[in-house]
Structure formats: C-alpha cells, structure tokens
C-alpha cells in the first residue's frame, strides 16, 4: 500500500468514525494521519506550561537598540518650562 493510499484509507476511516459519533477513534486516526503526513506531535511541557508558542530568534546580525537613560527618559532637551 502506497503512502497516498494509506492517507486516503485513514481519512475514510476517520470520516466513518466521526459519522458514527465515535470521536475517540476519529481523534486517534487523526493523530495517526498527522504523523503519517509528517507533522510532529508536541511534547507537553517542552515549551512551557500551557503554551505552544515558539521561541523566536532574532535575525543574524541584529543587535538590540541602546537602552535609554532612565534619568532623561521622556524629557525634552532644555528642561522643564515654567509658566
């Protein structure tokens, strides 16, 4: 049986299970289909508790911007104007 035939068979069996309200079997077949399609299953706790967001890496050569001086942050040159 070729890979395409296996995928088609799993999809057919999954649709039949869902139509028969056997959602546990349909979910198991869906997971098998994802593995066969090349998707990897997420490992619980690998990326943190309750999250599936990837950790982003900055592009090569990127440097973070210079941090502002906390004593002058938010102030314009010339100081505060009095009325």
- Indicate the domain borders of the chain: 3-37
Q: What span, in angstroms and rounded, lies between the C-alpha atoms of 50 and 64?
A: 29
Assessment of whether the complete model's pTM goes beyond 0.85: no
> What dihedral angle (degrees, nearest 10) is formed by the CA atoms of 66, 72, 73, 76?
-110
Q: Where are the alpha helices (DSSP H) in the chain?
A: 3-19, 23-37
Asked if 53 and 72 count as a contact pair (C-beta separation under 8 A), the reply is no
Residue 16 has pLDDT above 90, yes or no: yes
Length of the chain as a residue count? 83
Q: What span, in angstroms and rounded, lies between the C-alpha atoms of 11 and 26?
A: 9
The pLDDT assigned to 80 comes to 64
Write out pLDDT tens, residues 29-70.
988 888 887 776 666 665 555 555 566 788 889 898 888 777
């Amino acid at each position: 049986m070729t890979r395409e035939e296996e995928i088609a068979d799993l999809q057919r069996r999954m649709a039949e299970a869902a139509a028969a309200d056997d959602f546990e079997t349909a979910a198991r077949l869906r997971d098998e289909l994802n593995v066969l399609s090349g998707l990897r299953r997420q490992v619980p706790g690998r990326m943190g508790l309750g999250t599936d967001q990837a950790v982003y890496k900055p592009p090569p050569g990127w440097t973070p911007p210079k941090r502002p001086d906390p004593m002058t942050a938010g102030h314009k040159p010339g100081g505060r104007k009095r009325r």
